[in-house]
Structures are given as C-alpha cells and as structure tokens.
Structure 1
Amino acid sequence: MKYFSFIFVLLITLALGYFASVPIGPAPPMGPLMDPNHGFWQNMYSEDEIAEDEIAIPGLQGTVSVTYDENLIPHIFAQNEEDLYRVQGYVTAQHRLWQMEFQTMAAAGRISEIVGPVALELDRMTRRKGLAYGAELGLAYLKEKDPETLKLVEAYAEGVNAYIDQISSAQLPVEYKILNYRPEKWSGYKSLLLLKYMSDMLVGDRDLEYSNLRKILGEELLNKLFPEFPVDNDPVIEADKVWDFEPIQVSKPDSLNFPNDELVIDPLPQPEEGTGSNNWAVSGKKTKNGYPILANDPHLSLNLPSLWYSMQLSTPGHLVKGATLPGALGVISGFNENIAWGVTNATKDARDWYKITFKDETRGSYKYGESWRDSEFRIEEIQIKGQESYIDTVVYTHYGPVVYDKTFKSERQDINFALKWTVHEGSNEQKTFLMMNKAKNHADYNAALDNYTAPAQNFVFASKSGDIAMRIQGKFAVKWKEQGKFFMDGSDPRMEWKEYIPNAHNPSTLNPERGFVSSANQHPVDPSYPYYVFDNSYEHYRNRRLNNRLREMENITVDDMKALQFDDYYLHAAEALPVMINLLGSYLPNDESAKKYMQELKSWDFYADPNQKGPTLFSSWWSKTYSEIWKEWAEFGVPVVRPSNYQTVKLLKEEPASQIFDWGNSASVETASDHVKKGFELMVEEMKKWEEDEGDYAWANFKRTKIQHLVPQFNSFSVENVYTGGGSGILNATGSRHGASWRMVVELGPEIQAFGIYPGGQSGNPGSKFYANFISKWANGEYLNFNLRKPDDSDASLFITTFVSKP
C-alpha cells in the first residue's frame, strides 16, 4: 500500500499518453515500461532508501563529502573548486537529470526529438531566436577570454556525465521511460545554454504592438495611454539619487522614418503580465537586532520538478548556500559567511527589431546605408521523433537572426524582421555567480556584476559589515529617445545601436538614507537618470506596497520580512474598487445574488487571503470591466497591447466621460460608468454560474493554484488546487500558474540566520517523498531553517556520501 497512490497516478499518466487529445508523441513500448526490473516500478523509491556510502567518479583530486539534511538538501565539502563543481554536477544529476536535459533541449529547439511533430513550430521559433547560437558564442567567449571559468564549467559537465555513465535502465527517471529515450552526454555548452534559456524566459518586447498602435492611435493618444513614467513612480533606485557621472551624449537623428506598416505577424511570447519578483534589504538602523536583513522571492512558473534545487557548496575558502539552477554552476540566489544577494527581473527593453531590405529573392545581401552587406545562412536541422528531419534556413544579418521571413509566419504579410539582442553577443554570466558565491564585501559584489550581460537583473546585496546595496545590471545600449520602442528600419545606419552604457553608469545605490533598498519589477529610475529607459511591462502596485511598508517599519525582525514576502494586500483593488463602486452609483441588478456580492465587496478589507470572497468578486468584476473598456481594440485586426491596469484605473477615476470610453461603432455614447455597469452584470452572471457548478467561491478555490509538471500532459505528476492566497500585482504574487518560485530571508549578524522554501522538493522523481514535500509549507508561508553547515556538523543528517577518485 505504501506506493499505491504513485502507481495509480502513473497508470493514469500512461493512459493520457495513449488517449490524450493532444498527443505528446508515439506511445512508449509497454513491455519495457511495465518490466518490474527496469520499468516504472523501479522509480518507486525515496533517495534515502538507495543512499550510497561511497561513490567513485573520475577526475577528483581529493575526497569530497556530501551531507544530506532531513530535506535531502546536499552540503558539499570539497578541497578545491574543480572537485566542488564536479560533484555539484553529479549530485544535481542524481536528483534532476531529466529536468536538466529537458530544459536545455527546449532551449536548443530540440523538443521534437522527444515528442514528435507537435513541437515542430515551437522548435523552429526557438532556433530562429538564436538561443543555441548565443550559447555557442558564450562558449567561444570562455575559450578565448576566460579559460579558468571554462575549466570549472567542464568539471561540472564531467560530474554530470559520471552519473550518466553509471545509471542503469532501471534507475532512469520515469519521464525517460514514458517518452522512450535516453539521456545524452552533458557539456559546458549545455550549462551556458541553460542561462540563455533564462534570458528568453524573462525578456520581453512590444515593438510590434507599439508600432501598430502608433499608426492607429497617433503619437499623442499613444503617449497618453502608455506614459513612459507613471504619475506614482516609486523606482528601484530612490528618486532623490544624485547621479555622479558624466553620461555619454546621444541625440535623436533628424528625419528618421520608422517602418509605417501595420504588422500582422504573431508576436513572440511575453512574460506573463502581473507576475514578477521582489527583493529588498533593510539596514541595521531599521532592524531590531541592528543587523541587515535581505529578502528575495523570484516569481516564475510554478513547475515540478521545481526550477530551483537547494544546495550548500563548500571549500576551505568559502561556504555558500541557497538556490541553484539545475545545470548551472554555483548558487544563483543565496548567501555565504559574509554577504547575501538576490535577483529580480529588471524588465528593461534589451531586444529590438529591424526591418530588413534584401537585394533579391536569394536574400544573399541586404541594404545598409548606401551599400549592400552579405548575409550569413545557418542551416537548422530539426530532428523529429518518428519522422524525417525538418530543414530550416535562418538568415543572419549583423543585427542578428531574421526571425520572421517568407518561410515563417508570413501567411498574411511579406516580412523580413531581424532580432537584435544582447544574448547574441558573447558573455560570461556564469562567472558572475562563481565570483558572487565567494564575495566578501560590496567591492567583490560589484566586480562580480561587471561580468553580467543578460537577462537584466536587479541585484540586491547585504553584508555582515552593514552595507546594503542595489544595482541594475545588464548590457544596455545607449539609445536616443524612443529608439527600440518601435520597429526600426535596418537599412538606415542611424537606427543602429552605437555603444553601450558603461557598467559604472548602470543605476545603483549603496546605503541610501532611507535605510532600505528594494525592487519589484518597477521602473528602475526617475526621470533625472540621464539615459533613455523604456519597457512596457513595469510593475505599478507591488513596488508601492513594498516601499510603503518598508518606510513605515521599524525594529524589523526576520519574521516581519517573512510576513512581508507573504503579504496579500491587494493594492490594485484598494485603489480601483472605490472608483468602480462610485461609477456604479445606485445601479444594482434586481437580483439577490447581486446584492450579496456587493455587500461582500463593500465589507472586504482588500487582503487576498485564501478564504476571502472579496478578491474573487473584484477579480471577476475588474476583468469583465477591463475587457469591456478595451473590447473595441480587438477589431483593429493586428496585434496590439492594451493599457495597464494602473493607467485604466487612472482614466476611470479622472476622466470618466472621456471619449476614450466611447465605442465608435455604436449609436450611443458610452462612458466609464457604462462599462463598469456592464462588467458588474457579467460578474454576477459568472459568479452565479460558479456557485451552481462549483460551490464555494473563496479566493483559493477560484484561483486554483497549480504546481504543474514540465510536460503539461503528465498531469498526474502535478499538484493541483494548492490552498494559498496572493495573486498578480500582490507582493505574494501567487496566481494560478505563477508565484514565488523561491523565498529566502537572511539576517547578517555575527551568526547568520537564514530561511528558505520553494514550491516543490529536492527530488525530480514523482515516486519520492522528497518530490513535493515543501509545497504545503510554502503555501502556508512557512520556511525551512537554511543555516550554513560546517564540515563537522552531523545533526539532523539524512545520510552522508563520500566521493572518491575512480582510477
């Protein structure tokens, strides 16, 4: 009976593999899959049941000890860095091999090899964006400029391969068995590819949509609906920051012509609106114990296996602990004996599009100024499981790959659009984290960040010496106003990026007078910053809630910071709901349910806790109202982006009779009140139906947070209906499929106190008790003790494995 539930859900998964309406590829051979000696039965274990006292792997220079705590978190103690990262690779592969390979195959555009033609278009787009090309350039960069980092990256790969070489068919992760393939050898290239994959996950651009809106609305209305600085701008770097450098001067060239076509291609996928990340640090003058406290909670897709894998990495020179990315070296968000750091996405436009004019149909050359430049061609062979390979030819210009052309997404338009992206320029993000893991002070932190290019991140910092800091780091082009906001003409050299903002000019702050630093994906700076800064996706609610609370708080404790990470206050609702109720006036449908819903809304305290009904009603009412306001935009017939929630509330409050609310294709004149009333009626309909079909409409039941397996069809390996609060635009930004992928709080006193949690478990094996065992704690806002271990600490050890050199 011990594994009955696992067997049950696995059999359901196998049935899905055969009968799902969206197939994931050819069904696996049932004989090997059901074989009691090699099939899925062999995955019904927890790691402590198969622990080994000693493991021999090639290449070790000394003995390495790995102590696992009660949560299967490994603490690696090595005598040198090569051994450290070699064993990190082995141990990570032991628990996350399938995830590591699946994510890098996705980044390389190779999912069709696993699941068949259903993934072909996804793979084509991934290849055309040039992620693999970027990783190749990164590897070449290491070979030429940083052989020391390359040596450590290769040591990690050797550790992964040592595990792959030892793994038997019976030990293969169950996903390999279901999908019927085997792991291939790891390489340093794959580790770099993983970091490019993170860039792709976190970067966005709206050049396509803004170009369309510029043509449809005109510049005046566009700027009104999409202001580059919000009225309530509370930026990452404090607004009173004095910039102490002489900026590079740039001005917009005269007589520039942006391409004026209406563009009907499908835009690239964008990061989901309303999700994001938080990080902050408070100085000792604001804390109860007088020590800095740092907090970080990046919000990403909620997946199983988890995006993160917790580890401690130790040599005689340093101890570092935190969240690692399976496949990458070192700790990404964490702390050591001297400092702590964390990251949030900087949401700064670093990806631009250029319209290419080819000389002829061969696309062998393209116009640039008064001359023609030669194109390069990259042949992409996409292997497809069960079919012949698909051959795609991607044209490369000096800007980057021509992602959209006559062979891709061109059914409705003759297009040739090239992508300019810092991912394609060769960089060494891996070195940033290797250096940060060993950093001792603010100078070391800055030196580490000087190696970092993409994706742009807000790096928060705190140290035992008392410093707190924030730096927005990436490789950013020096741009004239509106450069990169719209599609640009690739034949005009004046549209070209000319140079980059020096690292020393990137926005940063050290020990500001207010006693804290923070970021929540909002605008990085105020208008006094001397370089052009633009992005469509800046956050407008979490940042203000966070900063307001940090300004108010004194005698702060670690528990206060945990509570702030789990804060459910719905600022958007607090600002929008009174405006909507006012616009509703005395109107109320003659319906008892409508009266009940309104009473619940009026008595709501604006906290999106899981048992509250107010957030459900507001979420539905706002969604319906917002859709009604901007519904006519769907008739434009081309991709556009709609105004933000923040800007829409501002219009409802300040200009309720504006022509913006009037639909041009109706006989009557609509005002904001009309849309709010219609939205309320639609909310009442939705909620009455919900009560009939589902019953309780408390927020957690309505939101239905799901921690989903990386293969969506493997639903049996997911965890559904997680009972937790929060939501988009809330500090606890836990929606249905996105949320805090990692929470960490560190107090930097003489003895560092650290706490962490993520929604999953250390194991990638659905049959293990360590697969999802953190989820209930995470959902309740609880944490694990994350303090550093010393080599001689043996308390609460699950088991210890010693690694020795294999002859």
Structure 2
Amino acid sequence: MKYVSFFLVLAIAVSLAVVVSLPIGQIPPLAPLLDPNHGFWQNSISEDQLAEEEIDLENLSAPVEIVYDKNLIPHIFAQNDLDLYRAQGYVTAQHRLWQMEFQTMAAAGRISEIVGPVALELDRMTRRKGLAYGAELGLKYLQEHDPETLALVEAYSDGVNQYISQLDKARLPVEYKILNYRPEAWSAYKSLLLLKYMSDMLVGDRDLEFSNLRKILGEAKLDKLFPDFPKENDPVIEAERIWDFTPIPVTKPDSLAYPNDELVIEPLPQPTEGTGSNNWAVAGKKTKNGNPILANDPHLSLNLPSLWYSMQLTTPEHSVKGATLPGALGVISGFNQDIAWGVTNATKDTRDWYKITFQDESRKAYKYGNEWRPTDFRIEEIKVKGEDPFIDTVVYTHHGPVVYDRTFRSNRQDVNFALKWTVHMGSNEQRTFLMMNKAKNHNDYNEALNHYVAPAQNFVFASRTGDIAMRIQGKFPLKWPGQGKFFMDGADPLMEWQGYIPNEQNPSTLNPERGFVSSANQHPVDKSYPYYVFDNSYEHYRNRRLNRRLREMEQITVDDMKALQFDDYNLQAAEALPILISLLGTHKSDSPEAEKYLKELKSWDFFADPNQKGQTLYSVWSSETFESIWRELLANEPPVLRPNTYQTIDLLTNSPTDSLFDVKGIEGIETADYHVRVGFDSLLVAMAKWENEEGDYSWANYKKTTIQHLVPNFKSFSAPNVYTGGGSGILNATGSRHGASWRMVVEMGSEIKAFGVYPGGQSGNPGSKFYDNFIPIWANGEYLNFDLRTPENQEEMLFKTILK
C-alpha cells in the first residue's frame, strides 16, 4: 500500500507542476488536496477494500444483488427493468462518475467551466455544432413518443444521483480534487447527450475541402483522384447481394449553382485517422463446432479511464453481458442467452453544409426560394472558470445552426454556413440498445435497429439458432449523385435532401452463401446499390485482409477469431513496398545506411509485430513519399485534402509518369520515382536522428502506443509506451493513440462461450489496482473469460453487495 500511495503522490505532484503553469486562478487549493482525511491520499484505496455488503438505495421494488468477479466486473441481478437500470446507474457512478460527467460536459461545450479560457474556442465550436440541441430534441422525442424508455433512463439517473448524494469528500474522484470542482446532478438529458457525443466522435464531412479542390483541380481531375468506388471494392454487404426492392426515385437537377466562395476557413475537426473498427460473424458451416462465432473490436482513442465499462445485467426475463458506455443504459456491444451483436462505424455522409443568405445585418431572416424565412436565435452562455461568462449567439435556420459566421472563424460578412445533420432531428438510439439487450432472434434485432438514427453503424449479428447478419443502420438522406460532396446554396430548394432511405432499404444481408458477414469501415456496397454512396475515408486494406482470411478459413475456432483480431499483417505494405523499391532503383546505392535499411525492408514479412524494424522503415518511407507527392496541392491557402493512400499507391503502380507527379517549382518534368527518392532521403535523415537519440527503431518503440488520461496534461495517470504491434490499415489497428478499444469474441452454441478485453480497467480511480490491470492482457492479444454468470455461480468472486 505504501508504494501505491507513493506513486499517487508522485502523480499528483507532476499534475500540479503542469497546473502551476496555468494562470493563478486555475490552481486548486492545496490544503484540501493534501488533507490526509479527505485529500488525494484517500484515492489510493482499491474498491475491494471499500466493499460494503449492503447499501441502502431508495425507490427499489426488491433487493438487487451485485456480484463482482476478480476483475471488478459487476454482475447485477434485479427483479425488473426499473430496478436493473437504477442499479446500473448507481454501480457505474461508483466506478466512473468523473468520466461520465467530463464526457457529457465536453459534449455540452462546458469544459471552460473546469479549466478556464483555454477551452473557450472548443466549447464554442461544440455548441455551434448543436450537440446539446440534438440531445434536447432527443429528450423531447422520448417525452412525446416513448415514456417507457424515458422512465428507464430516469431510473438510471436516479441511481447515479443517489450515489452522488452519498459521496463524501474522501471518496470524491481525484480529478475533482485536482481540478477543484464538484459533481452535479445527473439527468436523462445527460445520458442522451452522451450518445450525441459518440456521433460527433465518429462522423466527418469534407464538403469544405472538396469545394476548394473542385476550384483548384476541376471536375475531371477531382473525379480521377477521388472516385466513388476503388478498383478493388470488397464491400461490407457482399457484391453478390441482389437488391429485392423498388428504390425511391431521386432526381438530380438539370443545372446546379454551387456557391463560389473562397472558403478560407478552418474545417471542423474530423475523426482521427485510425478511428474505425472491425466486426464479423462466421456461420456454423465454417466453424469446428458448427456454431456461429461473432467478433467485434471498435477502434477509438485509447484513453484512461477506458471508454468502455464491462458489466452483466440480469433480470428473470433476460441476461446480457458486454461493454457499456458509462452514462448510457444497457450493453452497447455484447451478447445475451440468444444472440450476439457488435458495431463498427459505417462512415456515411449524414452531415452537409449550406450557405445562408441573410436579408440584412440583423440576421432575423434568410433567403429560401422566393421568400425570406425567419431565423431562430439560441443564446449560449458559456461559463468560464476565473472569468465572466462568454455569451455566444448562434443563428438557427431550417437547415440547422449557422456554425461559421462573422463572429466565429471568419470576419467576412458573406460567410454564413449552416450545418445540416441527422443528430438534430430527434431520435431514440437508447431504445435500440435496450431492445437489442433482450432480443432473441433476427426479427428482434431488426426491430431494435429501426429506432436507430445516428451515428451510422454496421451492426453485426449472430444467433444461437444459426443465423448471421449485417445491417448498415442510420437515418440516411436521399441524395442525387454528388449531393453533399460540396457546399450547397441554402437559398436553393433544389439543394434540399429529398427525404430518407427507408429502413428496410438500408444495405443488409442475412446468411450469405459465402458463410460470413464482415465490416471494417470500407465501402458499404458495390455499384449495384441504387442509392448514392460516397466518402473519401473508406478503408481499403483491413477489409480485404479480413475477407481474404475469412474466405480461406475452415473449421474455425474461437482462438482463430482471437488471432484474427490481433492480426498484424500489413496488406498496404505488401502491395506498395515492391513498387517503392522498384521506383527507387539504384538511388543511394553507395550509402551503407541505405543498404542496411533496404536489406531489412526486403527481408521483412509485412507483419507489423512489435519487434519488427521493417514496419518502422516502411511507415516513414511511405509517409514521406506521399507527403512529397501532394505537397504542392496541400500548399494551397484554402483548406484541401489529399487523395487517400489507396489512390496514391494506385497512381504509383499504374501511372508513374502521370503529370500529377510533376513539381511546378522544379525545372524539368518529375515522375513518380522523383518522389520515391525524396521520401527515401527523408527516411535516411529521420532514421539517423532516431538512432542517435532513441537507438532502437523496432516498431513498438517507434510508434509508442500511449493510453492517455482524458485530461492530456495528467500524464502520470496515463500508460505510455505500451509494447504492442499493429497500426492503421491493419486488423490489429493499434497506432500511437488509437486502436482496439474493446475486443470481444462469442461462440453462440448451446453453451455460450465469450471472451473480451479492453485497454484499461474497470475502475476510474488512478490509485486503484483495477485502473489499468487489463492493459498487459490487451497488449499481448489475450482475453478475459466473459461467460454469463448466475447468482449461484460464485467462482472467482471478489465481493458481493446487496442494494436494498
């Protein structure tokens, strides 16, 4: 115990050293923080030492039993749903209260309340995107259309608030003590806000950059560099799928007048490269035991406390287990006695931009067709720690909030851009997961998904009766080809979405002949799907590696699926490295360093294992080469984006003399080999510097995977330099800050066998032994047993608590 206390003192000291660099008004009072009875010392005690046999909880209709296993995973046994979710709220708050509140404050644009003016611009952007507005509409939807779900969400909130009311200063999470604030009451609104936060994390748009590229490149060259479909399209829904429905006609206007503005504004933050996921299910005809096996590993930011919190939820009617989101009800990715399911990001364009023309400087009306429509004003009061509140006025149109205007990110009178987003339309995603937790078959799975709007997800499914399925679900606008790719004129009714694709016409498949379903953030469909589909960020490598392996494999076992989740094969490198070496020719052939690196590259087996050096060398060489190719394009003042890696490699392979490789600032005509040599020269410089300063350039040491505390400055609460392989575009998509945030494998036999792990621990307390104890297991590609438990199964029990 003395060592735990020592390291926690060290953590606090380091954190305070960082805080001291802030204005004096942000430094917490030191006396309460160092108080031995109530200060951070009290956070060095782990949960099993604080366990209580009985806890009084109001509003329960019957006692609730909670059995914790040796990893602090709670198994909640209640007699009805209201008691179950009230207990889930209470238990989750016991272990993750600070995280729950911090994430919802981020989603509401309230971080300035905690850290001061340094977060003001972030809060303004969050509010202007309308996340809180979307959550308010979601709450209104529940109040008007689904009081049953609202009652369950309110029961969860009651459980959280009863824990907060019992929380004394000693047990207050350490982040509250360091940042000097107290938890506030939870609410149903906050649970819904959390789901909007996930939408914002996963949804992107590139309308701004594509509008600029259209001016710079012209339509023909733009279409060449950013095609709707790649040459090798291995989509989520198998290409053999026959679409047995009559699509709704979508008419493209004969003439289109796009705004011709010079769009020199900062784009919205986009999902970080590497954010994605894998999921799949294999049919019994391909498995050793004849049972379907389902696997899911969402790729998100690697943070502490972990995004996920594992839990089993049981009533006499159902028992479900898996990964929950602290703050939301039920299990998000998991299984019950009859089915298993998992999610990946579907990368669908549900966010578009419209230029708004106001009638005058008052902005009380805007042009739409031949009329002037009234606007709404939303006053956003942003509280700022240590300063007066900041008042921001956001104008709302029927398209959505005007995010960019003369008061934000632009000083031009004519810059008024509104964001249209399905998050602003009122929805009931919480009901989807509550229904999925109880689902018994494929019909129940589909019924649950009919309530789901955003963010768009690929929902994989497997049942104990043998079905496997995949459905791409969200509320998807009906668009004519090309719509939403560029900024649109908000005054032109022809630019409106033409409705929404019916749920039953969203891409889906059930028991395909090939014996598996899978998704890895690639194109959802092939060209036969009758609705417009486009995005520049689709995956092109993980999906092909995954599907090739699933096609090859027979007599599949759970261990095979675990190994596939941890697969480090770099398909991109396997395809691109021979081209790079060929185009390099004899360049630098007299350099001993070049000879050494090329020898290592040529002998590399394309696996990005942690001890591999070839992966490091390829990563540097390829990124420097791609940077050289698109440097002039990216140098334009208006923001643009470069073609994706797949298209770049295709150019290198099949069109090495294309005029796109020419560099205008250099005499003569450059071709692909010029950029490959530039990239290799940069590799030599980078590796000389690395070897001089760091020495070892094996892949794990080079990429330095870090699982970071949600407050980046709290480095002592983070886990740096985790020894593990993988990377972007690889099934084991573990980069420096992103990767598999949760891994789950479930075999749906007569006796369900389940395994799971995530890079963190059940506790949100950095002083607890359960804070990060899963990380070594996760880093090695190992798993915890996740089988369902009964109240009578006391195996490996850590402790038990009765809520009454």
TM-score (norm 2): 0.99
Alpha-carbon separation, structure 2, partners of 1:167 and 1:521: 42
Q: Name the SS for the 2:762 alignment partner.
A: coil
Asked if structure 2 preserves the Cα contact closer than 8 Å seen for 1:24 and 1:713, the reply is no
Q: Name the SS for the 1:636 alignment partner.
A: coil
Q: Is 2:555 the partner of 1:555?
A: yes
Q: Name the SS for the 2:634 alignment partner.
A: helix
Asked if structure 2 preserves the Cα contact closer than 8 Å seen for 1:211 and 1:262, the reply is no
For residue 791 of structure 1, report the CA deviation from its aligned partner. Answer: 1.6
Partner of 2:224: 224
Asked if structure 2 preserves the Cα contact closer than 8 Å seen for 1:354 and 1:417, the reply is yes
Matching residue within 5, 10, 19 for 1:17? 19
Alpha-carbon separation, structure 2, partners of 1:412 and 1:302: 39
Partner of 2:766: 766
Superposed CA RMSD: 0.9
Asked if structure 1 preserves the Cα contact closer than 8 Å seen for 2:304 and 2:709, the reply is yes
Q: Is 2:259 the partner of 1:259?
A: yes
Q: How does 1:144-543 map to 2 (within 5 A)?
A: 144-411=144-411, 414-543=414-543
Partner of 2:10: 8
Asked if structure 2 preserves the Cα contact closer than 8 Å seen for 1:207 and 1:352, the reply is yes
Q: Give the partner amino acid of 2:695.
A: G
**Compared CA separation, residues 30 and 182, structure 1 to 2 (3 A):** same
Q: Name the SS for the 1:600 alignment partner.
A: helix
Asked if structure 2 preserves the Cα contact closer than 8 Å seen for 1:339 and 1:461, the reply is yes
For residue 461 of structure 1, report the CA deviation from its aligned partner. Answer: 0.0
For residue 346 of structure 1, report the CA deviation from its aligned partner. Answer: 0.1
1:712-738 Cα offsets, whole Å, 9 max, x none, are 000000000000000000000000000
Q: Is 2:717 the partner of 1:717?
A: yes
Q: How does 1:726-737 map to 2 (within 5 A)?
A: 726-737=726-737
Q: Give the partner amino acid of 1:688.
A: A
Q: Give the partner amino acid of 1:281.
A: A
Partner of 2:695: 695
Q: Name the SS for the 1:57 alignment partner.
A: coil
Q: Is 2:646 the partner of 1:646?
A: yes
Alpha-carbon separation, structure 2, partners of 1:268 and 1:472: 25
Partner of 2:593: 593
Partner of 1:580: 580
For residue 586 of structure 1, report the CA deviation from its aligned partner. Answer: 1.8
1:441-483 Cα offsets, whole Å, 9 max, x none, are 0000000000000000000000000000000000001110111
Alpha-carbon separation, structure 2, partners of 1:510 and 1:701: 43
**Compared CA separation, residues 621 and 23, structure 1 to 2 (3 A):** farther
Q: Name the SS for the 1:2 alignment partner.
A: helix
Q: Give the partner amino acid of 1:2.
A: Y
Asked if structure 2 preserves the Cα contact closer than 8 Å seen for 1:589 and 1:681, the reply is no
Asked if structure 2 preserves the Cα contact closer than 8 Å seen for 1:291 and 1:464, the reply is yes
Partner of 1:756: 756
For residue 306 of structure 1, report the CA deviation from its aligned partner. Answer: 0.1
Q: Give the partner amino acid of 1:312.
A: Q
For residue 589 of structure 1, report the CA deviation from its aligned partner. Answer: 5.0
Alpha-carbon separation, structure 2, partners of 1:31 and 1:24: 16
Q: Name the SS for the 1:728 alignment partner.
A: coil
TM-score (norm 1): 0.99
Q: Name the SS for the 2:26 alignment partner.
A: coil
Alpha-carbon separation, structure 1, partners of 2:728 and 2:103: 26
Asked if structure 2 preserves the Cα contact closer than 8 Å seen for 1:90 and 1:160, the reply is yes
1:685-723 Cα offsets, whole Å, 9 max, x none, are 100110010000000000000000000000000000000
Partner of 1:29: 29
1:480-534 Cα offsets, whole Å, 9 max, x none, are 0111111000000010112110000000000000000000000000000001111
**Compared CA separation, residues 437 and 24, structure 1 to 2 (3 A):** farther
For residue 412 of structure 1, report the CA deviation from its aligned partner. Answer: 6.2
Q: Name the SS for the 2:393 alignment partner.
A: strand
For residue 10 of structure 1, report the CA deviation from its aligned partner. Answer: 2.2
For residue 413 of structure 1, report the CA deviation from its aligned partner. Answer: 7.3
Q: Give the partner amino acid of 1:512.
A: P
Partner of 1:103: 103
Alpha-carbon separation, structure 2, partners of 1:58 and 1:395: 43
For residue 8 of structure 1, report the CA deviation from its aligned partner. Answer: 1.8
For residue 588 of structure 1, report the CA deviation from its aligned partner. Answer: 2.1
Deviates more, 1:262-271 or 1:453-462: 262-271
| Aligned residue pair count | 802
For residue 11 of structure 1, report the CA deviation from its aligned partner. Answer: 1.7
Alpha-carbon separation, structure 2, partners of 1:633 and 1:532: 27
Partner of 1:632: 632
Alpha-carbon separation, structure 2, partners of 1:776 and 1:653: 40
1:180-235 Cα offsets, whole Å, 9 max, x none, are 00000000000000000000000000000000001110010000000010000000
Asked if structure 1 preserves the Cα contact closer than 8 Å seen for 2:356 and 2:489, the reply is yes
Q: Name the SS for the 1:681 alignment partner.
A: helix
Q: How does 1:66-81 map to 2 (within 5 A)?
A: 66-81=66-81
For residue 663 of structure 1, report the CA deviation from its aligned partner. Answer: 1.3
What runs of 5+ residues in structure 2 fail to find an aligned partner? none
Q: Give the partner amino acid of 2:628.
A: E
1:576-595 Cα offsets, whole Å, 9 max, x none, are 10000000112225321111
Q: Give the partner amino acid of 2:477.
A: A
For residue 273 of structure 1, report the CA deviation from its aligned partner. Answer: 2.2
Q: Is 2:573 the partner of 1:566?
A: no
Asked if structure 1 preserves the Cα contact closer than 8 Å seen for 2:274 and 2:300, the reply is no
Alpha-carbon separation, structure 2, partners of 1:440 and 1:381: 46
Q: Give the partner amino acid of 1:611.
A: N
Asked if structure 2 preserves the Cα contact closer than 8 Å seen for 1:285 and 1:515, the reply is yes
Asked if structure 1 preserves the Cα contact closer than 8 Å seen for 2:275 and 2:301, the reply is no
Q: Name the SS for the 2:596 alignment partner.
A: helix
